[in-house]
Structure 1
Amino acid sequence: MILTTCAACAAPLAHDAPRCVRCHTRYCNKTCQHDHWRRGHKQMCKKIHRGGNAEQYHADKKYKEAVAVAVEACADDTNGEEDFSTLRAAINYMGSLIQLQRSEEAKALYRKTLPVARRVLGESHEMTLGMRTNYAMAFCADPAATLDDLREALTILEETARTARRVFGGAHPSTRNIEGGLRQARARFALRELLGQAVPGELAPPEPQLAAAATPFAAASAIAGHLGMDPQEANAAIEELSELKARDPEAFAELMQAALSGEGADAGDQDP
């Protein structure tokens, strides 16, 4: 996908237009680049870079959006809510919504379709287990998820993993997928719980620019990132943080504050 307009003001781009050094997002001039950085690009830059830089990232995003629309249209064109193809479309749509970070919509769709899947397919059907897994992962992907939300997700995934192992065996792809989600949920829950122990009450940084770090997942990502790890490797971060907290509570508190305030970030986090 070739980007032809400025990311900040949508003006047409010249062939030599300036771009972000890390993620290659392009701008019509340096003023727009600096303005876009202050208005939120700083928080998105690493994500765009990990997604293959600006053009690949936006192409993937457009593809996922198109898939979501197509799946929704397919669901509307089937033979009723109990039809197998309708249920299959619903679970695919849920997955697309989660990828697009539309967690509330994904959870609402789950609450509507799960009773139908249970009635038509049964509790242990692969599609029913997939719906329950998607529902739990919607909580894990939600930046506003509370500790109780993550606890609910963890409980669902533990139950679903037990059922999958009993019905399909440990080597089945569905079982491995569910257990992978369970590992992620355990990591995020444990790290969120650790953060909660370190900072009584709600995390509420006073500076407006740190507001994003007040959400559980953002805080966990900040800690893992400060340790030089991808958030997907949060299990290792949890172990290291737990050991540090037990060994040196003061150093742990300083590390957490540094991560939440952005100290120690790499050079790519500086203003462009």
Structure 2
Amino acid sequence: MILTQCAVCATELGLSLGKKCGRCSTRYCGPECQKQHWEGGGHDKLCKKIKRAGGAEQYYADTKYSEAVTVAAEACADDTKGQTCFICTQALHWKTKEGLVRGCSCRGTAGFAHVACLAEQAKILCDEAEENNLDMKVFNERWRRWHTCGLCEQEYHGVVCCALGWACWKTYVGRPETDQPRLAAMTQLGNGLSAVGRHEDALSAREAELSMKRRVGAPEHQVLIAQGNLACTYDDLGRVAEVLSLRQEVYSGTLKLHGEEHYDTLREAYNYASSLMILSRFEEAKSLLRKMIPVARRFLGESHDLTLHMNKVYAVALFEDDGSTLEDLREAVATLEDATQTARRVFGAAHPLVVTFDCALEASRATLRARETPSGK
């Protein structure tokens, strides 16, 4: 996570409280903890090493990146056995000696890579955009390489997403707070931590991201994105009341800023509908999705993952609502059958998204069978 706690007692310091080691910038709540860390916590031996690595935040990011890469390579070992990186063409990375990963929708012999190679590729593309003063649309397209496979064009998931989140953060953490790639890297880190269920760590990253964007006067759309990311983590942590109010605020703000036909608006409509579902506010969720799904189909296409997610939530709202009619249940099954078939074609049967669709489809069919079968027969 982004360092927001005392290194000794873990007191929450936010982004500005407490004090730092004058040499390496390790953070403490006060002089007592700093003295304890130096005299009995081993900091006297690590301080110079941390400083040479670029300071406490950089040292921590580098360490966590290495750990995340090891976890990702081990998790992908069975799938990557006997393969080579599509970027450097080697089985082991020449410098880091790390193994291969694949956490996208590539199948067969495609998509195997080293996290280090993926990170270097993304960095080079983004550096070129900055150096040549290319417009923001081009930069954003290149930034996608930090989270999306350049071959199958689908986002990385699970441990690979986490490793790339740390790779992105360690690449840009040394830049000034107002630097756009550094702010975007905080988002990627939070996404990566969420992808492996480290929600408390993700919360620290999300809160730091929102606080920093507000402090440096980031554009409104960036603040809205940070609020949306924070709402996702509140959701993961079960903080339902906070989620819904924030979701409604972000959706309204994004709709006003961008209009309906914009990816951010569609994403926040989906997120708001999902939050309504948690509170069993099915009619509101269905009303919103009936309005926005046609926009998603027109703007993003039937096979886009966000369109598929919206269809799934709409179908679940149909069959989980106690007031649904038989016609509603049949619509839910038909919607999920189409969406699941499309998802399996686009992402492959083993993709986590497809697994959730299969479960929803099975549940919808069971609900329909129970309604269609007379009681006692």
- Alignment TM-score, normalising by the size of structure 2: 0.36
Q: Kindly indicate whether structure 1 or structure 2 has the higher relative contact order, using CA contacts under 8 Å at least 6 residues apart.
A: 1
- Alignment TM-score, normalising by the size of structure 1: 0.48
Q: Which has the higher helix share?
A: 1
